[in-house]
Each structure stands twice: as C-alpha cells, then as structure tokens.
Structure 1
Amino acid sequence: MNRRTLLSTAAASIVGSTLASSAFAAAHGGTVKVGFIFVGPIGDGGWTFEHNRARLALEEKFGDKVETVYQESVPEGADAERAITQMALSGCNLIFTTSFGYMDPTINVAAKFPDVKFEHATGFKRADNVGVYSARFYEGRAIQGHIAGKMTKTNKIGYIASFPIPEVIRGINSAYIHAKKANPDVEFSVIWAYTWFDPAKESDAARALIENGADVILQHTDSTAPQAAAQEAGNVITFGQASDMSEYAPMPRVSSIIDNWTPYYIDRVQAVMDGTWQSDDTWNGIGTGMVGIGEISSAVPEDVKAEALALKDSIGSGAYHPFTGPLNKQDGSVWLAEGETAPDGDLLGLSFYVEGLTGDIPN
C-alpha cells in the first residue's frame, strides 16, 4: 500500500468517524451542531445580518441542545467549497449555505458527507441530503414599487441590482410593474453592481442614479451605503433591503423588505432533532411571514400607505398575484394574457424584462 493510499484511507476513516459521531449525537438527544456559511459580514445591516439574527434565535430557542458555528464573508466558488468542507469535518449535523453562488459547492460537498444535512438558500439543486429554500422577495418589491411610483417627483426610479439571476430579475420586474400601475410616467434605470455586498460600489451606483435624476432608489444589494448616499443627496427616498435599515427612517428609508428566516431555521433544526428531516423545496412569501414589510414611515402620505398595506394584505391572502396579466415581454410578445398569473416555473427561470423596461440584462 503506497503513501497516497495510506493517506486516503486515513482521511476516509476520519471523515467516517466524524460523521458517525455527529449522526449518533443527533439521533440520541445530544447537542446538534448547526453551521452557517455567510456571503457577507454579519454586520452588513442586510442579508447576512438577518441570517445571523436567525442563527442567534436558534441558540435562544434550543439552549444547550444546539451549538451553532458560522463563517462570514465567504466568497462564492472554490473558497466556499473549502469552507463548507471544513464545516462538515468539524462535526456539523446541519449546514445552511446562504447565497446563490454556493449552490454547486454545496452539492459537491454534500456528496462526500451523506450523513450531514445541508440547506441551500435561493438555489434549485437538491439531493437526498440537500434541501433548498428561498423567499418570494418579488412580493415585497411590488409594494415598494407602488410606493416608489406614487412618491417620485422626477418620475425616475433607480435600481441597484446585484447579479443577473432570476431572483433579481423577478424583483426588478415586479417593482417596475407596480410603479407603472401607480404612475404611468415612471422610468426605471438599472445599474448592475455584480456584487452582493460592496459598500463603495453600492454608494457609487446610488450616486450615479441620483445624478441622473432618480429621486427613488431601490436595491438588491446588502449594505446600507445606498441609504447613506440618498441621505447625503436629500429629497431622495430608499427602501431597506433584507433587513429593516430603520436607522435611516423616516427619510430616506421609507419602508423595507425584511427576510424572516427564524421560523424556518427552527423548524429545520427541530426536524433534525426529531429524525424527520427530509430534502425539501421551500418558497414562501408574505402570507407565511417569511417576507415582511418594514414599517412605512411618516414620510409616506397616509393614502399611499393605506394603498401599500392593502396591496400587502391582498398578496398575503393570495387574492392577488404580483405577476398577473396582461403582461408582455420587453420585445412586445405576449407573456401573460388578461387575468393569467405566472406559473412558479416561469418565475424560477425568469430571464427577461417586461415591456416598458429599457436596457439589456447582462449574460
């Protein structure tokens, strides 16, 4: 037996021992170890902040029955695969990987650790030990779009987008559709930042949109830098992304989309404890509370606030779907007929703008 074979056998033995002990602990009422891979810092004030808030809620809920560990600011790609592997080797029973770009690394690592449970946020690839989960953020974007359309004075709305994936494209379309319903004269300008979290880039994008006449800024990036840029400019409104960002209320932040992961994380950890965890595909929204709408501030006129809250209630109850026809694609071809709603399959793979939006979606 050569040296390489010896090393491989030893490594396999270590992995097997780690998996066996962690599986035994979970099955026999011991401490369940839960890991989190975060794309940004836990203090980003947005996406990662809310995932970490849910991690802390797990500790509060389960006490010494749960141990949580996390690694923040993990780049998407090869670095993520190394980080997930290390977390699995550390004895985690359940690992949450919380960014779209972690999808393939999660699948790759899960194949090597079949006794560890994995949950991947916002992706679509599953395995026997990999579940996926996301929120219908586009529902919240509809409400933001309505407020934006009603409150803009210049009729120019700016949107800071992260990456050209269906999740982000859905949000742009939903915000535009509802801004246009509220104000037929609105125009959208989209800047692609190609980052989830980079305060300098986000600030530059906000300033560029404001200089171009936008007096409303929406974002699908994670820092509060756009809020600060809007505050500096004055007479520009913004919306919190993923977290409330209420430190900027009542102006420029007039409301927010809040990602509430706590109930989901508690349910999935409980399932591991009970031995009932199964790979699943979860996509919830306002109706279940996974998507929350932050307090609408006093800067918003009362009639607009009332309309926004009515829209929220209608979406939450299922009475209204944000993608309801008639809707055309950007090229003018029919997408949804009168009264028709978009199937989830269409939305999950959405790769086009609706009619009225200008500019191209990058490859």
Structure 2
Amino acid sequence: MSVRPWRDITRRKSRQIMVGKVPVGGDAPIAVQTMTNTPTEDAAATIDQIRACEEVGADIIRVSCPTPEATAAFRQITRAARVPIVADIHFHYKRALEAADGGAACLRINPGNIGSRARVKEVVNAAKANGCAIRIGVNAGSLEKHLLEKYGEPCPEALVESALEHMKYLQDEDFHEFKISVKASDVFLAVAAYNGLAEVCDYPLHLGITEAGGLQGGTVKSSIGLGMLLWAGIGDTIRVSLSADPVEEVKVGYHILKSLGIRARGVKIVSCPSCARQGFDVVKTVDALERRLAHITTPLSLSVLGCVVNGPGEARETDIGLTGGGNGRHAVFLSGISDHVIDDERMLEHIVGLVEAKAAEIEAANEAAAAAVAAE
C-alpha cells in the first residue's frame, strides 16, 4: 500500500492504439501533443517548427491539411519528422485520403463533417491500408445541427452523443484504432463531457481545453481543466491549446504532468516566491537556472528557497537543494541532507554543475540497469 494514498491516481482503463510508434492508452505514458501554426504548404517552415517541438519533448505533432497544396507538402513533412504526425482534416475527405497516403500516423476527423457514409468508408479504408489511427474530434463550437436542436445549446450530453455517433461510424466499418476528444473552451463543459464519455467507452481519450487563450491565461485555464481530469485518472494524450509558440504548449503540457507526478521530463524546480527574508535574489536565480538547465531531459528535482523558514524542509524532499543563509553563504543539500555551503559568487555555476552531474549519474545508473536486464 502507498504510504501517501492522497497522491494516488487510479488511471482509467482504456484500450491501447498505436499512433505511429507511439502507444496511446492502456498503460502507456500519457503523450504530450501540439500542433504547428505555420502554413503547411511551406514545408521548410513547418519542419523547422516540428523540429523545435521535438527538441522540447513533443510525442505527437498535428499538422493542418486544408488544401491539396498542403497535403502535397505533407509527404515531405512526415518524412522529415522524428515523431508521428497527425493530419488535421475537417470537411474535405479527399485531404484525408491524400494525407494517409502521404505518411500520416493519424487522421484527425469529424466523421459527421466528412459527408456520406461512403466517404467515411473511403477514409477508413485509407487508414487501414496505410496503418493510420484516427482521432474523432468533437468540439462544442461545431456540434451537429440536430444535436443543437435537440439540446438547445452545447452541453456535456450533446458532446458525448456526438462522439458516440461518430464512434459507430468507425465501428460499423470494423475500425477500432481510434481515440476521441470532446473539447470545449468552457472548462466546466469540457470536464463534464470527458467524464461522461469516460463512463461509456474504453477508447483512449485525447484531452484539451480548446481555444484556451494566450500563454498566461491559456496555461491557467488548461491546467485547471486538464488537471481535474488527469487527477480523476482520465486522459491518454493531452494538448495545451495556446495562442502562442507550439513549443510553449509542449512545455506547459509537461509541467502539468510533472505537477501531478504522472510523468517527468527534465528538472522540476521547487522555488519560493521570495520576500524580504531572502538571502539571495530568488527570482533572478530561478530564471537563470531554468534557462541553463533546459537541455536536461533526465527527471530530477531541485529546490531553490531564499531563507531558512521553509528552505531546509523543502530541500529534504528534492535531489538537490539550495537554501539562503546569512552573510552571502548558502546551504546546499544533496539527496535531502545538508552537505556544504556556497557563496553568492559561485552559487549559480555550482548548482548548474551539481544538477548536470546528478543527471549524468542517473542516466548511467539507468543504462546499467537496462544492460543488466538485457543480459538476463
């Protein structure tokens, strides 16, 4: 039994599908996604943006394919990408056929918008032939007319019913390699819809609060909505939708997962907001550390506290800790134990060096463990 049951998250049991080489659902890690915002027709610019997102850990990247010129460039884009690429299709079923042939790992469609059942069948056949998954993307802003007439307005029941109708389209074609989203800009609506959908199917769910806003407001809004769902064990992939650089979406996505203890990537910094008691400039130091340690992908924790009020207690919970002291000398904790002191002048470089060394130590241990398992 866990010694900290209040931290336990019991993940919803879902079937697993493959998006390219990335497993989604089941016991697979929750994937972090984003979407390019360059003109897809400009393959070079789109590839550059994909590469930047890959560097910060994007597992899956979505690319919009609204035109024949976009899907013509799509083949070049998928060949250059190191992660699976999802083709975003809304109304033009032929774009889905072209994208499937062009290397898409997944097609994001709304089957109800594709047109006739014959067209849905064509898309499913193209997905089967090319080993593509499909994402059913239901959105509160584009619900079907008959559901709006039935319910009067977008509501959780309408989003779930839309998803179930679309699911049946694919199931009738004996296609089950799909995930589902029921997004809304309203946090309460989205959370209620995802909770309702989670109760009536076992397909993997892609989470998102759509049109969340700018970097700051959208981060807060997405963190609230996705945090509630993830804490309830719901969600197999996430995208933080921001009016910002897609790189920021990936970073925020990892911060959300890291905050819940679901998935870690890089250095988790625990720091105080600072006050008049601080022994050094905490804000400036944390800002510098975030920039200097951005290259580290190994999960580890670092606490940066300005004084001895909470500093020693927080430092005992992290791999490396820095607590402000008097006369320009500050305590350094290693693995929760007070180890030595460091002065202002050498502090930043010293902490960066300690974190880099710890990351290398963890990686070496992981490699040795993997080698031992392989040798058995």
User: Normalization by structure 2: what TM-score?
Assistant: 0.29
User: Normalization by structure 1: what TM-score?
Assistant: 0.30
Instruction: Mark the structure with the bigger radius of gyration.
Output: 2
Higher relative contact order (CA 8 A, sep 6+): 1
